[in-house]
Amino acid sequence: MFSEKIKLFKCLVIASHNSGKVTEIRELLVPLGLKIVAADELDLPEPEETESTFSGNAKLKAEAAAIASKLPSLADDSGLIVDALNGRPGIYSARWAGPSKDFYLAMNRVNNALKKLDFEKKTSVSRSASFFCSLALAWPDGITKVFEGSVKGTVCWPPRGNMGFGYDPFFMPSGYNKTFGEVNQDWKHSISHRSIAFAKFQNYVDDA
């Protein structure tokens, strides 16, 4: 059983150095009743994300943490996909925020790219977008499982709300009139890309 296997290790590593992401993942893991430790708490290095897909980067991070810590490790690679920008920023979502991780800068960069398209095409291009999450669970023995989730919506300008993190104030899920930055975490967890991936992870936990 998964639960018995976890008990042998006594804890699970969150292979991330993003404090907002770590907080959100911790909250989603609460039902499992596991001891959770973040990568920076173990002084684990942050590997360079060299893969070309969300799943590839999630696996890379989870496997690096599992090897270094000798503990089961969970990594998330997620980002914003803007249709009119051919999927950008995509896997480069965090990098669009620059070295200082300034996501207002990143959101402004996306908005400016859309405005440039508006000007070039002499019409307003679609603001349709989606959030995508790939979640990888890596065991020290080399086995890795991947779970994915996505949610469709639109990007808005100016950003709205000061809750959440990253692009949350910029993204409005389809069927709602609030951004992820304007709602509490419980509401966000009910529909987010990350919660969808975690539901698949939970099913794996229950069935393993």
Catalytic residue flag (residue 77): yes
- Among 40, 43, 76, 77, the one annotated catalytic: 77
Measured distance CA(111)–CA(126) in Å, rounded? 12
> Annotated active-site positions, please?
77
